[in-house]
Chain A
Amino acid sequence: MKRTLVALVENKPGVLNRVASLFRRRNFNIDSLTVGRTENPAISRMTIVVDAESEKIRTQLYKLVNVIQVQDVTDIPDVSRDLALIKVRVNSQTRGEVVQLCDIFRAHIVDATTDALIVEVTGDEDKITSMTELLRPIGILEMVRTGVVTMTRGEHVLSPNGYKLRPGGNGYRTNVL
């Protein structure tokens, strides 16, 4: 069963490498992993979707010195979003069809030429998968997805506040990658 974990990590060089290396050597299968800055420049946030026992992953992640907080949010009501850019081959007949699909999926056309459109679609994984399936017969030239980012609903908060940039551990340079 797929589990979603959210992790707060120190924003230092090599941290993503440490997390990725951990998953490989412990034989955990990553479905998707996204990482980006938070409102606190000392802290980055990861959303990790895995097909494994999340308890093992959580305790293993905590062994990494740069990992501050990990939470399995699978069973907490949340908002999850994945974003895809899909370049579709079109002609005068199929262009209208793509525009219609975009309406249904609340997707946007962000680039248009005579032969191709780029569709930007945001939503949970299922929505993007069904959009992809409907566009496939028309002709997908290229696509890219960001992977899922997740935030729990309501007052439940995983806050990066209160952590300061600290020396040591590869410097003040902030770059989780």
Chain B
Amino acid sequence: MKLTGAEITLECLLREGVDIMFGYPGGAILPTYDAMTRYPQLRHVLVRHEQGAAHMADGYARATGKVGVVIATSGPGATNLVTGIATAMMDSSPIVCITGQVPSAVIGSDAFQETDVTGVTLPVTKHNYLVYDVHELAYTIREAFHIARTGRPGPVLVDIPKDVQNAVTEFVYPEEPIELPGYHPPQRATDEDIAAALALIEQAERPLILAGHGVVMSGAGREVLQFAEMTQTPFALTLLGKGGLPETHPLSLGMMGMHGTGQANLAIQNADLLLAFGMRFDDRVTGNLKTYAPNARKIHIDIDESEIHKNVRVDVPIVGDLKTVLGQLMPYLKPIEHRAWLGQIRDWMEDADERDIVNREVGERLFAAHVIHDMWRATGGDSVVVTDVGQHQMWEAQYYPHQRANTLLTSGGLGTMGFGLPAAIGAALGLGQPNVWAIVGDGGFQMTLQELGTAVQERAAVNIAIMNNGFLGMVRQWQEFFYEERYNATPMHNPDFVKLAEAYGIPARRVTRREDVIPAIKWANSITDGPTLIDFVVEKHDLVYPMVPAGADLHKMIRRPLPSENSI
């Protein structure tokens, strides 16, 4: 069967199980857009800016566990993807970006809309390709998907010159398994690794599991929970680890790190054994490395060997797939009790509860933490929540305990403002279910709000909850703590978000009082055929507590003052 390069591209996408693509047309990718008319089974979602396409594919991938697909044109189309690609790279999200390139004959001549896209995206992709020959196209796309979804997943970009899209050749799909000489994702631990880990586990008196994104990506939640229950080991979660384990479990300490719970951070600093499962000791998690977990031996299981000893030297490094490695380890585990340690942790929890804003009377004021906590109550804690970046993101992490994997989608590593709305659209379309919640700040929302048009056009049932405090709140918080309250460039003059939504035909309302929160959430959930928007006008001056200042010792948290200390 003779096909054009453009048709071969789409044939290969079908064979990879792709059902939806997020993209934006343009000159150099037009042959592929034209070929789409012959492949109606591939749904194309027209975004309003290519960054939105990358975030949507990322949100789709995180929500469904499948590879997200992006299509864009050369030059500005491709460079607009960069923020989204970098976001996916930092959070190990599998996406494949197909970009058009100027015809190969004029590459290097500064042709119209020409950019060295493989050069630009080299440091922010897991791998990328520039395909010069239509005969290699099918193999390359197959390889791209293989690399994106295996090992530590990540974004892969395939740049296809216009003449290669137009070239005609006999289409032969390469059925044989992909064999790459330099790419062998690790799977199993050695017997020595398992023995060394067991020895530390058996000796430990104050063990703690640090559960990261790897728990989610490896699908190892059940194994980790079994491990925790059998050895009575409490667990703390990274931001991206949330959902990997049930957070309302008695052994759960909640999130760790800069805005982690007091009990999680104190447990890390007092533990004698850390079991780091699929996490990478990010600086937002460790604080000052010199004083980090000073008494703890460390077992680190990760699929990416370069993460071992990168930030924290560990005693037992194990490179492999977490689910596989725990499967090897579990048969040797014996039940262990850690009563004194768990008692100590309960004391820390009680202290934290007393300081917690959700346990306070706050009068007439509306706090974002309350809104998010009410959202958790009103949705039975079972919604897929996508956040943007900033204070509301940390409050979500603190006040919306997740029970299932892939139910919190958030930009952790790169901290990309503008991620929330498009990622939520991608998640909603991928899951094909209503009531995906996008919790966003008024700042980040305005970075990608043009995707409201996409949500309406595609009838993506995303409920947008704006935590509107009229400030770039997290930056304002740093200015308050560390820059003597000089609030430079953080107050925001915002549009009327309700009117804005109505201009797009989106049902919207504004909430300013606590008693209206749950009814508004229920109202939004009752609308299932398209987006809704709620503008929550929240307290301007609230802060995310606790906070470990950047680079400070993890146990030196700034805590929310107690009620007796006459403050909120």
Contacts and interface: CB of A to CB of B under 8 A. Distances in A.
B129 to A, nearest CB: 6
B132 A170 contact: yes
A60 interface: yes
Contact of B182 (A14, A55, A65): A65
B413 to A, nearest CB: 15
A79 B287 CA distance: 45
Nearest to B127: A65
Contact of B132 (A10, A25, A60, A173): A173
Interface in A45-74: 55-56, 59-60, 62-69
A168 B182 contact: no
A149 interface: no
Contacts of A56: 306, 309-310
Contact of B129 (A21, A168, A172): A168
Residue among B180, B181, B304 with most chain A CB within 10 A: B181
Given A65-B147, A173-B132, A168 B306 contact: no
B136 A17 contact: no
A9 B140 contact: no
Contact of A21 (B123, B142, B309): B123
B133 interface: yes
Given A17-B119, A64-B182, A65-B182, A171 B306 contact: no
A168 B140 contact: yes
A131 B359 CA distance: 77
B143 A168 contact: yes
A137 interface: no
A9 B143 contact: no
B181 A163 contact: yes
Contacts of B135: 167
A25 B123 contact: yes
Contacts of B181: 10, 68, 163, 166
A36 interface: no
B139 A62 contact: no
A10 B181 CA distance: 8
A60 B140 CA distance: 23
A21 B123 CA distance: 7
A163 B180 CA distance: 10
Given A56-B306, A168-B139, A67 B132 contact: no
A62 B306 contact: yes
Interface in A14-38: 14, 17-18, 21, 25
Interface in B93-144: 118-119, 122-123, 126-127, 129-133, 135-136, 139-140, 142-143
Contacts of A10: 181-182
B482 interface: no
Given A17-B119, A59-B308, A170 B182 contact: no
A167 B304 CA distance: 26
A169 interface: yes
B139 A167 contact: yes
Contacts of A13: 130
Contacts of A66: 182
A166 B305 CA distance: 26
Contacts of B179: 166
Nearest to A169: B129
B332 interface: no
A157 B132 CA distance: 35
A6 to B, nearest CB: 15
Nearest to B135: A167
Contacts of B183: 65
A59 B305 contact: yes
Interface in A139-162: none
Contact of A170 (B123, B129, B147, B304): B129
Interface string B175-203: 00001111100000000000000000000
B126 to A, nearest CB: 8
Contact of A169 (B119, B123, B143, B310): B143
Contacts of A170: 129-132
Contacts of B147: 65
A54 to B, nearest CB: 12
A168 to B, nearest CB: 4
A92 to B, nearest CB: 51
Contact of A171 (B136, B142, B309): B136
A17 B128 CA distance: 12
A141 B142 CA distance: 54
A60 B119 contact: no
Q: Which residue, of A9, A168, A171, has the highest number of chain B Cβ atoms within 10 A?
A: A168
B182 A68 contact: yes
Contacts of B129: 168-170
Interface in B363-388: none
Given A55-B309, A171-B136, A14 B123 contact: no
A46 B136 CA distance: 27
A64 B309 CA distance: 19
Contacts of A9: 182
A9 to B, nearest CB: 7
Most chain B CB atoms below 10 A, which of A21, A169, A173: A169
A120 B13 CA distance: 56
A169 B309 contact: no
Interface-centre pick from A60, A64, A65 (highest chain B CB count, 10 A): A65
25 contacts: A10-B182, A14-B118, A14-B122, A14-B130, A18-B122, A25-B123, A59-B306, A59-B308, A60-B306, A63-B304, A64-B182, A65-B147, A67-B182, A68-B181, A69-B182, A166-B179, A166-B181, A167-B136, A167-B139, A168-B142, A168-B143, A169-B129, A171-B132, A171-B136, A172-B136
Given A56-B310, A66-B182, A168-B139, 8 more contacts: A14-B118, A21-B122, A62-B305, A65-B147, A68-B182, A166-B179, A168-B129, A168-B140
Top 8 A-B pairs, shortest CB-CB distance: A59-B306, A68-B182, A168-B140, A168-B139, A59-B305, A168-B143, A167-B139, A65-B127
Interface of A: 9-10, 13-14, 17-18, 21, 25, 55-56, 59-60, 62-69, 163, 166-173
